[in-house]
Structure 1
Amino acid sequence: MKIIRGREFKADRAWGALDIANMGGITTRLHWTDQAYKWHVNDGQEVFVVIDGVVEMRYRQQGEEFATLLYPGDIFYASEGTEHVAHPQGEARVLVIESEGSV
Structure 2
Amino acid sequence: MKIIRSRRFTAERPWGALDIANMRGIATRLHWTDQPYRWHINDGEEVFAVLDGRVEMRYRESGVEHSTVLETGDVFYASPGTEHVAHPLGEARILVVESAGSV
Unaligned 5+ segments in structure 2 are: none
User: What TM-score comes out, normalization by structure 1 length?
Assistant: 0.99
Q: What CA distance in whole angstroms lies between the structure 2 residues aligned with 1:37 and 1:4?
A: 23
RMSD: 0.3
Q: Number of residue pairs matched?
A: 103
The letter for the 1-side match of 2:54 is V
Partner of 1:42: 42
**Does residue 1:29 correspond to 2:29, yes or no?**
yes
Deviation at 1:18?
0.2
Percentage identity across aligned positions?
A: 73
The alpha carbon displacement at 1:20 in A equals 0.2
**Greater than 6 Å deviation, 4+ residue runs:** none
Relative to the length of structure 2, the TM-score reads 0.99
Q: Which runs of 5 or more residues in structure 1 are unaligned?
A: none
Aligned to 1:81: 81
Q: In the alignment, what sits opposite 2:69?
A: 69
**Which string of whole-angstrom CA distances, capped at 9 and with x for unpartnered residues, describes residues 58-87 of structure 1?**
000000000000011100000000000000
